Amino acid sequence: MNMEKKEYTYTTNVGDYVVIWITGNAVKYIAEITQEEPLQMKVQETGPFAYLKAGDFIVLTYETSQIQESQDACDTLLKEYKDKGHPLISGLASLGIKDDNLYEMLTQE
């Protein structure tokens, strides 16, 4: 049996979205890249999740590759996590959040 390991890729350009774990927190978040080098990102516009730097987070390769692949792949991932009872969370204005609170991210149905 020939088992090939699938490689998941993603980009970290300013404005790209990534899925992360924030150190010490079991919740998975959707973050927006704010600086490429050194890598920095935000989950909210203000507050403690507005300025995350190396050591504050772990980028989740599979999940990030899915949300960057296509809207269909992103919707499938969001639905899968919601169905498992662990929805992806964010508070980004660029994702339509107007009050800077954290919310479950939903599919574009």
- DSSP classification of residue 44: B
Tens of pLDDT, residues 49-102: 999 999 999 999 999 999 999 999 999 999 999 999 999 999 999 999 999 899
Q: What is the pLDDT of residue 6?
A: 74
What is the mean pLDDT of the segment spanning 7-31? Answer: 94
- The residue segments making up the domain with residue 72 are 17-97
* Position 102 in a domain: no
> Which H or E run contains 29?
strand 28-35
Report the C-alpha gap between 32 and 13 in whole angstroms: 9
79 part of a folded domain: yes
Confidence (pLDDT) at 2: 61
- How many Å apart are CA 103 and CA 109, to the nearest integer? 17
Which contiguous run of DSSP H or E holds residue 28?
Answer: strand 28-35
Residue 72 lies in a domain: yes
Say if 31 falls within a structural domain. Answer: yes
SS3 of residue 37 by DSSP: coil
Overall domain count for the chain: 1
pTM, entire model: 0.91
